[in-house]
Structures are given as C-alpha cells and as structure tokens.
A and B are shown apart, each in its own frame.
Chain A
Amino acid sequence: NAGVTQTPKFQVLKTGQSMTLQCAQDMNHNSMYWYRQDPGMGLRLIYYSASEGTTDKGEVPNGYNVSRLNKREFSLRLESAAPSQTSVYFCASRDRIANTGELFFGEGSRLTVL
C-alpha cells in the first residue's frame, strides 16, 4: 500500500519558470491537501479539495493553482515561480467519510527557485 505518492521529490527552477507537482493517493480518501513547510513557520495550507470536483483556497494560495483530476490525483501548479516559493511541499489526504481527522502525508517535494 503506497499511501500518498508525490513527484518529483526534488526540483530546481529559475525565476519565471512553471512546473506542476503531482500527488496521488490509493486510500480512497475524499479530501486532499497541499501544504508548504518553511523553517520556523510550520505547515501552511495552500489549497485543498474536500471531494472530487471541488477545490478551495487555503492560507497561502497566491502564485499557485490546483487541479483535482479525479478522486486519486491532486496536482499543484506554479505558473511563474518566484524565489519566495522555495520550500518543501507536502500533499496529504484524509478520510472525510470516516471523519477521523488525521492526515496522511506524502514524503514531500523539495523545490528551489533561483
């Protein structure tokens, strides 16, 4: 059981380049999330998808877009990368139906924007 899988694990971009982070979960969860983690700031929510076909902004959505492609997949796109987007990005999923609350995280995507 793979859980939550993120690709790529590492990426270096130049300012202004675009890229998409991919996330897939195999636990049949309804809700999926994208967080960024920066030193001293904790995990901050970028976007989330409560269920297939819906997406909503989180705490820090500016500069990002998301797509909930199907129940399994939730992608995060940076249209024009900026150095401030250098961070570690985590995708997570939750079983909203069971309503147990805990999040299941991927291993992270480490992005550097030069």
Chain B
Amino acid sequence: EDQVTQSPEALRLQEGESSSLNCSYTVSGLRGLFWYRQDPGKGPEFLFTLYSAGEEKEKERLKATLTKKESFLHITAPKPEDSATYLCAVLGFSGTYKYIFGTGTRLKVLA
C-alpha cells in the first residue's frame, strides 16, 4: 500500500538547535518527493522536489535529502520564523499519477 509517514508529529527546538525531520514512504513508481511548509491558517508552500536517491537540495537553513525509503529535512541553526508544519508528499505512477501526503511535523522554534 502506498503511504507516507512523517516523524516526529511535533518538535520543539531552541533557537540555534539543529535537528532533522523524517519522511518514510512506500510508493509505486516514484516520480518525485516534495517538501512543503504550511503556516497556521495558510495553504502549503512548496519548498523542494527530490527525484532520485542521493539527491540533496538546500534553501537557507533547510536541506532535504532522499534515500530509496525515506527523506530527511535537516534544519540547521533554526530561528523562530522557521516555526511551521512541514509536509512531505510523494508523487507515484502506476497507471495514473497519484499524490500521497504525510500528516506533517509541527515545528516550534523557541527564542
């Protein structure tokens, strides 16, 4: 069964305390893995796309990596403005394209 599991569900960090969010997936015909950021009361905002194992993408304090079974979103020296829910999604293909979203990790960075 195609599925995406994110952990932890919630994470509290002190400002400057680096950590990683995990996204484990099983999907037929992976066409891409996506990370989104969602602020309270807003729609998800695209961050990264990863297409193949070993690929890495960076943006400011965020770095996304991909293996054949999971992806990590590394947050280096986070700031309070990094507080948000981070969603992982995969796009699979088995006759038709299908997006599967995880339930997200709620990140709170304390000043």
Contact = CB atoms under 8 A, between A and B. Distances in A.
Contact of B44 (A40, A90, A100, A101): A90
Interface in A46-94: 90, 92
A114 interface: no
Contacts of A106: 43
A108 B41 contact: yes
Interface in B50-94: 87, 89, 91
A90 B44 CA distance: 9
Nearest to B44: A105
Contact of B87 (A43, A44, A101, A107): A43
Contacts of A44: 101
B42 to A, nearest CB: 6
Interface residues of B, number: 20
A45 interface: yes
Contacts of B36: 103, 105
18 contacts: A4-B43, A42-B4, A42-B101, A43-B89, A43-B101, A44-B101, A100-B49, A101-B31, A101-B32, A102-B34, A103-B34, A103-B44, A103-B46, A103-B89, A105-B44, A107-B41, A108-B41, A108-B43
Interface residues of A, number: 18
Contacts of A4: 43
Interface of A: 4, 40-45, 90, 92, 100-108
A101 B34 contact: yes
A102 B44 CA distance: 11
B104 A103 contact: no
B18 to A, nearest CB: 26
B99 A45 contact: yes
